[in-house]
Chains A and B, each alone.
Chain A
Amino acid sequence: MISYHDKASKYFEIKSSIEDDIFVEQNIEIVLQINDILKSKGWTQSDLAKQMGKTNAEVSKWLSGMHNLTLRSLAKLKTALESDIIITPRKAKKEYNKIHYVTMRVLATANNKNVKQKYPEGIKSGNLLKTAI
């Protein structure tokens, strides 16, 4: 196939400001996050409207962009969706970087030929393991 890559590159590789790049990326992330949450809940925009106690037209206007998303509107969306939409690195670390240790007792006999297959490498009969989950 004929390629115009070289001729088109001066347009496609136009420099964007760092601020524009960040703005675009944040917008995309928020839209994708809201879509993912709606999908995981099996919700439509109309379900979201019901949950927010608003009419479909109101929510549609909300998500139409005529109305730039403010922190207040994000808080309302978070309340309705019962899920984080944006999260700061500081909070993400606090919320998701936790390591919970649980104690597991693995029951197996050392002579059992199948032990290697039945249990992951490193786990031997009677071992007490600390596993991060």
Chain B
Amino acid sequence: MSTFATIIELYKFKEVTFYSLILEGEQKPLGMQFLENHGKHPHFRVLMTWLKKIGNDYSAAQYFFRPEKKADALPPPRDITHEVCDLRWYCLRMTQSSVVVFNGGVKTTRKAQHCPNVKGHFHQANFLSEKIWASFDSKEISLDNNDRLVVEKDYKLNL
């Protein structure tokens, strides 16, 4: 089990920066693993169209995110998208400009906890979200004037 994680910048849009974590002992950030595993899923384009619009034009307002206990998920809820999307990308919306993405998958049941594909990612996202907020509370990581994450070089998030 990983005992620390490195915070990386995954992609920066005009309004929102997406960050992710590389867990100790792993080669790729969790967000990159999601992109590589699900980039060919039929609903991937729907998810990314929303993400780009939020990232470039609208910022990460709370109502664009699905509440998932201590974490969040994308795409936005169906009352906003009006589209079917079985993909769930678990994340932590920290501010209007900073979102940390984790892993995700194709959700097959109403509750994430019951879905064999995503329950592990759901629990992991909740665990990691808690750790990120704890490091924020203890001022190990902070936000700049634009609400983007500030992380010291070589900083490791304790898990």
Interface stretch (choices A2-10, A99-107, A112-120, A123-131): A2-10
We find that the number of chain B residues with CB closer than 8 angstroms to chain A is: 38
We find that the number of chain A residues with CB closer than 8 angstroms to chain B is: 27
Interface stretch (choices B1-9, B105-113, B114-122, B124-132): B1-9
Min CB–CB distance A80 → chain B (angstroms): 17
- Contact of A25 with B11 in the complex, beta carbons under 8 Å: no
Q: Kindly state the separation between the CA atoms of A63 and B79 in the bound complex, as whole angstroms.
A: 6
Q: Kindly state the separation between the CA atoms of A35 and B46 in the bound complex, as whole angstroms.
A: 23
Min CB–CB distance B52 → chain A (angstroms): 7
Q: List CB contacts (< 8 Å) of A2-28 with chain B.
A: 2-5, 7-9, 11-12, 14, 16, 20-21, 24-25, 27-28
Q: Which of B12, B31, B52, B79 has the most CB of A within 10 A?
A: B79
Q: Kindly state the separation between the CA atoms of A7 and B35 in the bound complex, as whole angstroms.
A: 10
Chain B residues lying within 8 Å of A21, measured Cβ to Cβ, are 49, 53
- Contact of A4 with B11 in the complex, beta carbons under 8 Å: yes
Is A133's CB within 8 Å of the partner chain B? no
Q: Kindly state the separation between the CA atoms of A65 and B83 in the bound complex, as whole angstroms.
A: 8
Which among A24, A35, A66, A69 is the interface contact of B53 at CB below 8 angstroms? A24
Min CB–CB distance A130 → chain B (angstroms): 38
- Contact of B63 with A20 in the complex, beta carbons under 8 Å: no
Interface bits A36-68 vs B (CB < 8 Å: 1, else 0): 000000000000000000000000000111101
Chain B residues lying within 8 Å of A11, measured Cβ to Cβ, are 35, 39, 48
Is B139's CB within 8 Å of the partner chain A? no
Chain A residues lying within 8 Å of B49, measured Cβ to Cβ, are 16, 20-21, 24
Q: Kindly state the separation between the CA atoms of A12 and B63 in the bound complex, as whole angstroms.
A: 21
- Contact of A65 with B77 in the complex, beta carbons under 8 Å: yes
Chain A residues with a Cβ under 8 A of chain B: 1-5, 7-9, 11-12, 14, 16, 20-21, 24-25, 27-28, 31-32, 35, 63-66, 68-69
Q: For the complex of A and B, list the 7 residue pairs with the smallest distance between their C-beta atoms, beginning with the closest.
A: A65-B79, A65-B78, A16-B49, A11-B35, A2-B8, A3-B9, A12-B11
The 26 sampled A-B contact pairs (Cβ below 8 Å) are A1-B19, A1-B149, A1-B153, A4-B10, A4-B31, A5-B9, A5-B12, A8-B18, A8-B32, A9-B11, A11-B39, A12-B52, A16-B45, A20-B45, A20-B46, A21-B49, A21-B53, A24-B49, A24-B50, A27-B80, A27-B81, A28-B58, A31-B79, A65-B82, A66-B78, A69-B82
